[in-house]
């Protein structure tokens, strides 16, 4: 059985690795030119039943523990006026949802695959059914690959999804801006102290400002704001001039404590805009023999429940196990939909909550109830 996985993100690589553990080869077609072609983003907290479960099936628990930071679960939550609403301090042996840098996680998975398992620079442009569940996959370079099972692990803008459903991600009514503080401890001690070992969040006035320590000495700062898909063009912020953009972004936080907006001053390098989009909550499709989707390709959601990577990795591992056991892909899809739907709903609800007036107090109460207090 020839398996092609479109996309070598966390979902696709987990699937390839767990297949390999069970002696099954897969071809991974990845659009990036190489592992270092693109900045991979910041830190991710992997849950016991999500990413950690998948890494156990991948035989990579020891490698994960070497890169994970339990202390990264520390957090402080403020309102937009500067009142501290909640502080959590993690024990060094708290393995509930430790943080790990996304590049380190991706490397862990890549290093566990044989050389040549990932075809770099292989952007999938689409696929056509050949009958009996077989598909011919087209690559941007003009090459084609035929396979018995095609796995769409190519993220929110999947080129495989149209084989199964006409659903497309819709703009979620909010956008994010990502900035990076480099060499935080030495060059920006005040920002470093505010963020501590984990994360800082301030919420209110229908916007958020958050900052999270990464394992590489950087702190990633995120601003989340309500706005339409064209917000980057209409906001008046000159994103093509990062130094002016940082200053202009501070106007959106007028009246917030100077200590908080100083986080923006401490950043350097590009100011990246992230449009928040999501697939319909509870998306399902009629099963089609020989093709399926995992991760964001199947259930893209906003990051407000912190589950996208966890679900993608669990999907990848579950699909691999289903195939290794000779099981039915339909059953895998049923379980994936059931797993993802509550999180997709929570992500949509949390987006409204986090970007509401007085969000700080509401989110403090949410965290308290989640902690059983």
Ligand X SMILES: Cc1cc2nc3c(=O)[nH]c(=O)nc-3n(C[C@H](O)[C@H](O)[C@H](O)COP(=O)(O)OP(=O)(O)OC[C@H]3O[C@@H](n4cnc5c(N)ncnc54)[C@H](O)[C@@H]3O)c2cc1C
Query: Contact residues for ligand X (CB under 6 A)?
Result: 6-12, 29-32, 44-45, 123-124, 153-155, 159, 176, 274, 295-297, 303, 306-310, 312
DSSP 12-26: HHHHHHHHHHTT---
Task: Identify which of residues 100 and 329 has a Cβ nearer to ligand X in the complex.
Answer: 100
Residue 36, class by beta-carbon neighbours within 10 Å (0-12 exposed, 13-18 middle, 19+ buried)? exposed
Asked whether the beta carbons of 248 and 238 are under 8 A apart, the reply is yes
299: DSSP letter? H
State whether residue 123 is helix, strand or coil: coil
Task: Identify which of residues 80 and 307 has a Cβ nearer to ligand X in the complex.
Answer: 307
Round to whole Å and give the CA distance between 279 and 236: 29
Place of tokens 């399902």: 284
CB of 176 to ligand X, least distance (A): 5
CB of 81 to ligand X, least distance (A): 25
Residue 365 to residues 204, 263, 328, 359, Cα–Cα distance (Å): 14, 26, 42, 10
Residue 94, class by beta-carbon neighbours within 10 Å (0-12 exposed, 13-18 middle, 19+ buried)? middle
Round to whole Å and give the CA distance between 207 and 49: 30
CB of 266 to ligand X, least distance (A): 19
CB of 186 to ligand X, least distance (A): 26
Round to whole Å and give the CA distance between 264 and 247: 8
State whether residue 155 is helix, strand or coil: coil
Residue 239, class by beta-carbon neighbours within 10 Å (0-12 exposed, 13-18 middle, 19+ buried)? middle
Task: Identify which of residues 161 and 188 has a Cβ nearer to ligand X in the complex.
Answer: 161
State whether residue 255 is helix, strand or coil: coil
CB of 201 to ligand X, least distance (A): 12
Scored b (16 or more CB within 10 A) or e, 301-339 reads bbbbbbbbbbbbbbbbbbbbbbbeeeeebeebbeebbeb
CB of 310 to ligand X, least distance (A): 4
DSSP 12-75: HHHHHHHHHHTT---EEE-SSSSTTSS---SEEEPPTTTHHHHHHHTT-HHHHHHH-BGGGG-E
CB of 223 to ligand X, least distance (A): 11
Task: Identify which of residues 153 and 184 has a Cβ nearer to ligand X in the complex.
Answer: 153
CB of 99 to ligand X, least distance (A): 8
The token pair at 296 is 């964001």
CB of 359 to ligand X, least distance (A): 17
């Amino acid at each position: 059985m020839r398996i092609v996985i479109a996309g070598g993100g966390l979902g696709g690589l987990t699937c390839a690795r767990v297949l390999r553990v069970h002696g099954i080869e897969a071809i991974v077609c990845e659009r990036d030119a190489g592992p270092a072609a693109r900045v991979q983003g910041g830190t991710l907290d992997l849950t016991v039943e999500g990413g950690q479960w998948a890494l156990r099936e991948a035989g990579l628990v020891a490698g994960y523990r070497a890169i994970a930071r339990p202390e990264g679960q520390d957090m402080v939550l403020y309102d937009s006026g500067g009142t501290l609403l909640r502080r959590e301090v993690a024990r060094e042996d708290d393995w509930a949802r430790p943080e790990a840098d996304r590049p380190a996680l991706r490397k862990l998975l890549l290093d566990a695959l044989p050389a040549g398992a990932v075809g770099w620079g292989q952007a999938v442009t689409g696929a056509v059914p050949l009958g009996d569940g077989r598909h011919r996959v087209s690559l941007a370079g003009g090459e084609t690959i035929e396979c018995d099972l095609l796995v769409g692990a190519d993220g929110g803008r999947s080129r495989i999804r149209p084989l199964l459903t006409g659903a497309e991600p819709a703009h979620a009514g909010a956008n994010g801006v990502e900035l990076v503080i480099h060499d935080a401890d030495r060059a920006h001690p005040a920002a470093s102290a505010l963020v501590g070992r984990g994360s800082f969040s301030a919420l209110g006035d229908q916007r958020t400002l958050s900052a999270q320590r990464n394992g590489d000495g950087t702190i990633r700062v995120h601003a989340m704001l309500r706005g339409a898909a064209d917000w980057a063009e209409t906001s008046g912020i000159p994103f093509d001039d990062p130094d002016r953009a940082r200053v202009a972004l501070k106007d959106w936080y007028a009246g917030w404590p100077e200590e908080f907006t100083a986080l923006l001053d401490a950043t350097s390098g590009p100011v990246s805009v992230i449009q928040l989009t999501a697939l319909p909550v509870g998306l399902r499709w009629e099963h089609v023999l020989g093709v399926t989707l995992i991760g964001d390709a199947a259930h893209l959601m906003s990051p407000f429940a912190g589950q996208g990577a966890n679900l993608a990795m669990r999907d990848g591992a579950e699909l691999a196990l289903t195939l290794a056991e000779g099981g039915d892909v339909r059953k895998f899809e049923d379980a994936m939909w059931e797993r993802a739907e509550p999180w997709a709903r929570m992500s949509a609800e949390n987006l409204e909550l986090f970007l509401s007036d007085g969000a700080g107090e509401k989110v403090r109460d949410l965290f308290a109830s989640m902690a059983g207090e």
